[in-house]
Chains A and B, each alone.
Chain A
Amino acid sequence: MNGRTRKRSKSEKQSSSHNNTYTGLYGTIPETIEAVKARLDEIFSDCNDFIQREISCGKNSLIRILIAYIDGFVDKRVLNQDVVHPILDFFSNTELHEGSHIYEQLKGCVVINSDIKEANNIQRAVHGIVSGEALLFIDGEDKALIIGVKAPQGRQVEEPDTETSIRGSREGFVENLVTNMTLIRKRIKNPNLKLEMMHLGRQTKTDVCICYIKGIANEEIVREVRERLNKIKTDSILDSGIIEQYIADNRLSIFPTVGNTEKCDKLAAKLLEGRVAIFCDGTPYVLTVPYLFIESIQATDDYYDHAYFSSFMRLLRFIALFVSALLPGIYVALVCFHQTVIPFKLMITLAASRQGIPFSPFTEAVLMIVAFEFLREAGVRMPRPIGQALSIVGAIVLGEASVSAGIASNLMVIIISITAICSFVVPPLIRVTMLLRFLFLIAANFLGFLGMTFLAVAVFIHLCRLRSFGVPYMAPFSPLTVSDLKDSILVVPIWAMVTRPRSLRQENARGTKGTKRQEVTLKK
């Protein structure tokens, strides 16, 4: 492990030194407007969307001001209204004395934009420009102003496609990080909601934001998240999925140990339970850690509906999870190995449906599953308008024709359909169950139930070993945390959920009954 990091940091050093010589991003801001212009032109050479505008104003046009920004990235109307106009007005109306501080005046009372920062070096200035801010440089100064006039970009807040719910908020996150941060602030109006910004990716400089509630989230976990994020050495972070892969505890596991969500209310709930969220600019998927196995069968609707119904749904989802992973394997094991346990009448039905099928049950199952996975994948990748044709072909070929042609038994078609339906009941684990389904099928074909037991033991050992940011993945089952069982396979009514899930080791576990929590927080 040590060897690996060492190797990595070496290559990192090389590439960063390479970067250094190439762009010349470092250094102070030159004091003359010509020099700054030349420098920026050099940095942004061949960038046709880079615009520099020089304004000369005041008496005899002595005061020269440079505005630099990237076209389309800033809102030009706001730029003119907040920056250019006031400056021109100011200098045409005001008498300037020799040596009066133009910079301070501009910063303090002329530019009416509320988001003004100062850049002391080229690097900061360039970062401001590429982030969609405007650079304001006054001739003769060694620093520049960075004015936030970013044009609103991207789509509106919409209902997320991937996570739908019957009840609850329909707001989903968008690609814009600031909008996302606002959305979560809107739900948790509390200064303890911390949003720590950092930039990841050597080339992309993606804005990444760690979000947690101070006083609830475990400080150790927050620190661990920070550390793991800082350790990421890569050129580009294009999606939170990339971060997920870097920060996962066990990078080789097929089970997800980092969660993601597109729904604002879901994220708020997770933060309030003491989890840490990682926002990433450019993607609506927000990561949450620690992510436990049980979360995959939890849905936001569960908490908004009566506990009877949500408990029942939980139970169904739990069963569906097992069915989607095991059913084809169980069928093959039963039909090929353990005919003795099949009741006589079912046996006749089974035998009748298998009559005349040229393939072994295993081959048959694999063929059908592969065909189904093809269909599913095609459904995801293909252009939307073709969808209709695909579903028709899929239904007819898979369902009807394969049976009447005698290639698959109709029982197998039913089994694969049930398996497929069940796998969609637990969306976070669709890929996991797909893989497990194949593995269990193979195990069943070799050793029947015995083989499946082998594999199940292996999978369970793996699951119980797995950790997500130090929290056992199978909590609250293993290790057993009795108080957390209230929100596992069954759900207790929301008024009875007094404590937060203890397995997340919050700073204070007393939950929804406000007063107590407040005290603890204040004491800290």
Chain B
Amino acid sequence: MRSGKIKKRTGITQIRTSVIQIVFLITFPLLLTGCWNNRDLTEINLVAGLGLDRTEDGKVLLTVQVVEPAAIQSSSSGNEKAGGRQSKPVFVASYAGETVFDAVRGMLSIADKRMFFSTTQVLILGEKLSQDGIEEVMDFFLRDQEMDYEMIILVAKDATPEEILKIETDMDSIPAMYIKGTVENTISRGTVKKTMLIDLIKDLGSSEIQPAIGKISKAGEKAVMTDGVAVIKDGKLAGWLDPHETRGYLFIIDEIKGAIVNIPVDNGKIAIEIMRSKGKNNVAFENGEPAMLKVNVEVEANVGAFEGRGSLDSPDNLKKLEIVLEEEIKKETMMALEKCQKEFSSDIFGFGAHVHKYHPQYWKKANKDWNNIFSRLPADVQVKAKIVRTGIVKSPIKKDE
């Protein structure tokens, strides 16, 4: 038990303790980090989408899609506040500068307020810029403290970033949010990769893996389409994977959260919904040299739709179906692997990481040349599929005979 004495402090110790306290007070918070400058929300332009491309004369063309909050608010609540004028929810502006940062600052000459990049949802890279190399322009995004590392990166195909950012859709008042939405749907689709700034920066700086970035293209006047993947090699665009190859690629890197695989059967088509997928990749070594790329995919799936005749009520039928499904998945993964090996010679799957981890000695001498070694290796793909459920009906609506 503590002593029952009630302490009386004398003047001197009181002063001493308060001095110590003040010192504590000042030193500790100084170790904290934070933003120091006071600027009001009304003094910044909220950037929702960013576009980067290279002009013919080698300048960086920066395109911003800026949100007009008042217009969005009034369009959603029907409340006409901001001076009663009907304004668009976003505006798009472009500026060409020598460097990215130069373009950002130069933008101030055509915009009324400072650009605020933390709210950026998507960053769209132009095809030309990607071919010339993206490493240089990404430096600014890495260095600037205001960048959101979770912004989604896409590469535009057959359109400039400016064109894509200018598309106004009816689905969302902010086009950038719409684009982000289409990419995030990949969770149940599996035909595009969601690459965030942080992923790209990590992959760019690593020799174990090459980055792959989602592809975006125009789909008519009022819509975009995100399907497929842009393969980067050594910071430059090497080529594209189509949606099927993309899915094969995602199976390998274990990024499939859901997908629909269509299987042709004797009397129609069956759409299989992938519920769970587990992909493993490693490199088999022989005599201290890499011998084979090994891919192992385990899939659990449901029958989503059966457009044809037949019955699924016997285990044998399901077994057959599983084998067909395995073949189909294997075909897609092989397509992706082969394309990356033969055409792009770019290890976007991260086999290199495995080599680095388990065979560091070999990696030390081979990492410079890994993409070429990777391209020469034979591949072994094992797929194991299991159909768990067939939905709430056993047989299709169409009757036999």
Contact = CB atoms under 8 A, between A and B. Distances in A.
A339 B4 contact: no
A407 interface: no
B38 A505 contact: no
A427 to B, nearest CB: 29
Contacts, number: 114
A337 B35 contact: yes
Contacts of A344: 46, 48, 119, 121, 177
Contact of B4 (A220, A336, A347, A361): A220
Contact of B70 (A221, A347, A356): A356
Interface residues of A, number: 42
Interface residues of B, number: 43
B67 to A, nearest CB: 6
Interface stretch (A169-177, A189-197, A319-327, A443-451): A443-451
Contacts of A347: 41, 46, 69, 119
Contact of B25 (A1, A339, A457): A457
Interface string A339-380: 110001001111111111100110000000000000000000
Interface string B95-128: 0000000000000000000001011010000000
Contact of A335 (B11, B41, B81): B41
B21 A450 contact: no
Interface string A439-466: 0000001111110011001100100010
Given A335-B40, A355-B69, A453 B6 contact: no
A340 B146 contact: yes
B72 interface: yes
Contacts of B21: 461, 465
Given A220-B6, A352-B72, A356-B81, A338 B38 contact: no
Interface in B6-49: 6-7, 11, 17, 21, 24-25, 28-29, 32, 34-42, 44, 46, 48
Interface string A165-205: 00000000000000000000000000000000000000000
Given A348-B73, A352-B69, A450-B32, A339 B42 contact: no
Contacts of B4: 218-220, 505
A448 B35 contact: yes
B6 A340 contact: no
A505 B25 CA distance: 31
Nearest to B177: A344
Contacts of B357: none
Given A352-B72, A355-B69, A454-B29, A449 B34 contact: yes
B159 interface: no
Interface string A206-228: 00000000000011110010000
B40 A336 contact: yes
Contacts of A447: 34, 36
B5 interface: yes
Contacts of B1: 505
Nearest to B70: A355
B82 interface: yes
Contact of B73 (A220, A349, A360): A349
A349 B69 contact: yes
B364 interface: no
A448 B32 CA distance: 12
Interface string A71-87: 00000000000000000
B29 A340 contact: no
B2 A340 contact: no
Contact of A337 (B5, B7, B37, B72): B37
Interface in B57-86: 67, 69-70, 72-74, 81-83
Quick one: which of A350, A352, A357, A361 has the most chain B CB within 10 A? Answer: A352
B69 A337 contact: no
A357 B24 contact: no
A339 B38 contact: no
Contacts of B118: 339-340
Nearest to A353: B73
Interface in A38-65: none
Contacts of A350: 41, 69
Given A220-B4, A335-B40, A450-B34, A461 B67 contact: no
Nearest to A481: B2
B143 to A, nearest CB: 15
B35 to A, nearest CB: 5
Nearest to A404: B81
A89 B1 CA distance: 65
Nearest to A290: B6
A19 B268 CA distance: 115
Contacts of B34: 337-338, 447-450
A338 B35 contact: yes
A469 interface: yes
A355 B25 contact: no
B269 to A, nearest CB: 40
Given A339-B116, A457-B28, A457-B29, A224 B6 contact: yes
Contacts of B119: 339, 344, 347
Nearest to A453: B29
Contacts of B67: 348, 351
A470 interface: yes
24 contacts: A337-B34, A339-B41, A339-B44, A339-B116, A340-B118, A340-B148, A347-B41, A348-B46, A349-B69, A350-B69, A351-B46, A351-B70, A352-B69, A352-B74, A354-B41, A355-B81, A356-B82, A356-B83, A361-B41, A447-B36, A448-B35, A458-B25, A461-B25, A467-B7
